[in-house]
Amino acid sequence: MAIRNIVKQGDSVLTKKCRRVEKFDDRLFELLDDMKETLAQSGGVGLAAPQVGVLKRVVVIDVGGGAVELINPEIIKTKGHQQSIEGCLSCPDIWGVTNRPMFVTVKAQNRNGEEFIMDGEGLLAKAFCHECDHLDGILFTKYIIKRVTPEQLERK
């Protein structure tokens, strides 16, 4: 396993649409393991493959309690609304309040290619939306309704 370099906003890799994963092989396992290690070290909640320069539909999310691996994830249902502060490992200086659904259901595959369905609420729902957007080259800054300064963050 290895820590990979996180690509920052301004790099064109973050604006591209990622390809579906077709091969569930050692290269995919290595990518997933590296992404989990990189996420754990970063202190973030989620990481998408384009953020480490790989244009594949692969996401890891950890809202506490261990990382979840999502391959070829698709949002199949959303419900409700939440407004909360959101950030991104690729935009370390930008924080803002965003509008997101409160409940999100995703369909994805695990590292063996088996399909599963997962429900997320609150932070996990927000992470599903944020990370799936990365796979289509969309950054969360698009959804910011109010910017938050680092000073305001510390007071929370």
Closest approach of Cβ 51 to Zn ion, in Å?
Answer: 6
Give the full edge-to-edge strand order of the sheet including 68-79.
Answer: 46-48, 58-61, 68-79, 103-109, 115-121
Q: Which is nearer to Zn ion, 24 or 138 (CB)?
A: 138
Point out the residue whose Cβ comes nearest to Zn ion: 88
Active-site residue set: 131
Query: Strand pairing of 115-121 and 68-79?
Result: unpaired
With a CB cutoff of 8 Å and minimum separation 6, the contacts of 3 are 34, 37, 38, 41
Question: Is 88 among the residues that bind Zn ion (CB under 5 A)?
Answer: yes
Stretch that binds Zn ion, among 10-18, 27-35, 56-64, 82-90 (CB under 5 A): 82-90
Q: Cα–Cα distance between 42 and 51 in angstroms, integer? A: 12
| Closer Cβ to Zn ion, 24 or 133, answer by number | 133
47 binds Zn ion (CB under 5 A): no
Closer CB to Zn ion, 99 or 113, in the complex: 99
Tally Cβ neighbours within 10 Å of residue 116: 11
Applying CB under 5 A, does 45 fall inside the site for Zn ion?
no
Residue ranges in contact with Zn ion by CB under 5 A = 88
